[in-house]
Amino acid sequence: MDWLDFFQSITDGLLFGSIYALIGIGFTLIFGVMHKINLAYGAASIAGAYVSIAVAAYVPLPALVTFLIAAIASGGIAFLIYLANFRFIPLASPLATLMATVGMLILIDEIVVHATDGMPQPYPALFADIYIEWGDFGLRGDLIFIFVLSLIAMVVLMFMLYRTRLGIATRAVAQQPVAAQLAGISLDRTNALTFVITGLLGGLAGAMIGASVGVLSPLLVVPITVKGLIVCVIGGLGSIPGAIIAGLAVGAFENFFLAFRGVTERDMYVMLLLFVFLVFRPGGIFSRSVARD
Amino acid sequence: MLDSKLVRLGAVAALAVGASFGAQSEAFSAEKTVQIAGFGAKSGVVRSFGINTEAVLSGAIEAVNAAGGVKLADGSMAMMELSFYDDRCNAEEGISVLRRIAGSDAVVAIGPTCSNVAEPLFGILQKTVGDEGDSGLQIPVFTDTAIKGGLAKISQWAFRNVPNESEMYRALFQWIATEHPDLKTVYGGVEEDFAHSRFTWHKVMKERSPEAGYEVLGESKWLLNDTNFTTQVRQMKKAKADIVAISAHPFTTCGVLKEMKRQRVKPSLLVGLTSSSSMETLQGCAEQAEGIIIPTSFAPVTEAAKAAADAAAKHEGSADLHSAAAWEIVMILKEVMEAQGIAADGDSVDADRRKIRDGLANLKETDGLLGKIQRTDEGEAVKPYLYVHAQAGEWAILHDPSQ
């Protein structure tokens, strides 16, 4: 492998890693607010993208509108997940909600499979035919678009969290739920809105994955769930900046090892990275100290 | 007088009772059924395979029954009856399903969809017929879809009606060499974690193409649920091969073809995996797949093949190279059952299974939708095939090697 291949693989990985970052943010935001893992998050993200192409099948839509519908649909599905798996299930039992979301993941996946017979569905993309080349170095136009769109989504999220009353309420619930309630903040409403916001991000991520591959398939659900959880752990559970950096890093890391060691070893190194963080930096990238027992 | 009336009345009554019994006997005979069990993936990402197989099986059994059914050993006719099970393309589920089928009245099992199910599943069948020390299941399994090479030899109860890919790709590369003598090099793309695609690249395409004079320049690998093919296609681009052979299923085949278009990788010729000669590929990436050549053992080019395709459509499925094999299997089974003289009563299940197995094992040639199918001693089929290519969103016949 020469330097060009090295930079090429890292750059491709960084661009694609922005999708992992979006997924990771969703996992980490829910964990930050509710201290729960929503394993159905990836499935909801892909389901949102499926809803958008179902709508587009009836009404021809520009790609951007299709992406927007995916985000909205996923936000709606995320709200339903909140109601089904969190709102009416005793939160004191961590396993109850975890297993409920596993069930929801399988349910959503099978609904998609039954609706499409598992057949790949073409998904619209923007700038899919643009490929920018400098000699042997090249960049995919659609991945650049995805990267920029993901960055915009992250900036909007950060603005919402740190500059709006909803964001303040969300952070208050994440930090001190009891105090937040005493201050008049509704836990249920804040939790539900957090699910909807993460759903919007997830739907966008699902649409971006569909756009980058050009095809939607239920096969996408498990990989993005696994990658989202890895990003969430490496970034630090509950840390949004950590999820962003970890998403980009995991994308670059896996693409480098794909080019350097091949696809059969790629995921081994990603898992090794996860173990390294769990052992040496369990609090994630931005943790202040090695917070181990 | 009264006595003679009573005698006549008694005689009439006796006749009536006799006729009634006769009618009942005929009714019983007509109600005899031959239980056929089908199984395949009807959930998960390969759900369409199971749906198509079930549709084709239903259509074929409907056709057999419409023609009177199956003639039994006692000369009566029995209707075929299908039960279909979902194995989710999962080995454990497949084994569980086969155990259920073995415990039922089904005289034969048709399936499974996936090679990763077929391989362990054949392993729980009795390896050698009549081996008292082997407690493996004793039910003939006739496979329509699981295509990975050489699986039927695992058990003498296993039979397959799947295309012989080794022969198909050998002939395809020879034909390409004749038709395009200017092409010299091949580059492979393989879905590395799927039994069929992996086998077909490493043991078929990669070995058969050099026999036709091609130099294999290298290979790119990806996984079944990968989403980013940038690096692999870049490797492909660097190789500058004349022919790119993609051994992958429709989802990643489409992902790779779209990435190839993006990076302007334009080989002179594209060759695809047999399983990709389906509607899934055209639905996912018809434009990018334009021109890809795939050998297939099914196309609706004969009257029988058209009938199979129509029957599948009637049952809301699609006949393709995998599912159409199920039609042939049903027709083969009907002939074997009649030749072997099965009884199809409740007590004869084990004996009927053995008769069907023996009949299948003795077959040397059967009728197929595209022509005669040769049977090997290992329970495999050598089927006629065609080369199709994607053309304007449809699979069009490119060449018939038998012509």
pLDDT for position B22: 47
Provide the ipTM: 0.81
Strands, sheet with B381-382, edge to edge from the N-terminal-most edge strand: B365-367, B372-375, B381-382
Contact B45 A113 (CB under 8 A): yes
For residue A185, the distance in angstroms to the closest alpha carbon of chain B comes to 41
For residue B155, the distance in angstroms to the closest alpha carbon of chain A comes to 31
Contact A57/B at CB under 8 A: no
Structure tokens at B316: 């809301």
For residue A277, give the DSSP letter.
H
Q: Which of residues 170-189 of A touch B (CB under 8 A)?
A: none
Torsion of CA B54, B59, B64, B69, to 10 degrees: 60
Contact A223/B at CB under 8 A: yes
With beta carbons less than 8 A apart as the criterion, state whether B258 and A214 touch.
yes
Query: Is B165-296 a CATH 3.20.20.70 domain?
Result: no
Three-class SS of B323-378: CHHHHHHHHHHHHHHHHHCCCCCCCCHHHHHHHHHHHHHHCCEEECCCCEEEECCC
- Residues of B whose CB is below 8 A from A222: 225
Q: Which of residues 96-115 of A touch B (CB under 8 A)?
A: 110, 113-114
**Cis bond leading into B112, ω under 30°?**
yes
CA distance A183 to A216: 44
Per the confidence metrics, is the pTM higher than 0.90?
Answer: no
Phi then psi dihedrals of residue A137, to 5 deg: -90, 135
Q: Which residue from A minimizes the CA distance to B225?
A: A219
For residue B240, the distance in angstroms to the closest alpha carbon of chain A comes to 13
CATH class of A3-280: mainly alpha
For the purposes of burial, counting CB atoms within 10 Å of the CB of B31, is it exposed (0-12), middle (13-18) or buried (19 or more)?
exposed
Residues 6+ apart with CB under 8 A from A175: none
Contact A264 B51 (CB under 8 A): no
Contact A218 B45 (CB under 8 A): yes
Strands, sheet with B158-160, edge to edge from the N-terminal-most edge strand: B70-71, B77-86, B33-40, B108-110, B141-143, B158-160
Contact A262/B at CB under 8 A: yes
Q: How far is CA B238 from CA A12, A256, B41, B219, B244, in A?
A: 17, 17, 38, 11, 12
Structure tokens at B64: 């057999």
CA distance B361 to B87: 26
Residues 6+ apart with CB under 8 A from B127: B134, B136, B154, B155, B156
Q: How far is CA A224 from CA A144, A230, B3, B88, B389, in A?
A: 20, 10, 92, 21, 34
- Residues of A whose CB is below 8 A from B266: none
Query: Is B30-163+300-384 a CATH 3.30.420.40 domain?
Result: no
In order along its 403 residues, chain B shows pLDDT tens digits of: 445 554 454 555 544 544 444 444 444 445 789 999 999 999 887 888 999 999 999 999 999 999 999 999 999 999 999 999 999 999 999 999 999 999 999 999 999 999 999 999 999 999 999 999 999 999 999 999 998 888 999 999 999 999 999 999 999 999 999 999 999 999 999 999 988 899 999 999 999 999 999 999 999 999 988 888 988 998 999 999 999 999 998 889 999 999 999 888 999 999 999 989 888 888 889 999 999 999 999 988 899 999 999 999 999 999 988 999 999 999 999 999 999 999 998 889 999 999 999 999 999 999 999 999 999 999 999 999 999 999 999 899 999 998 7
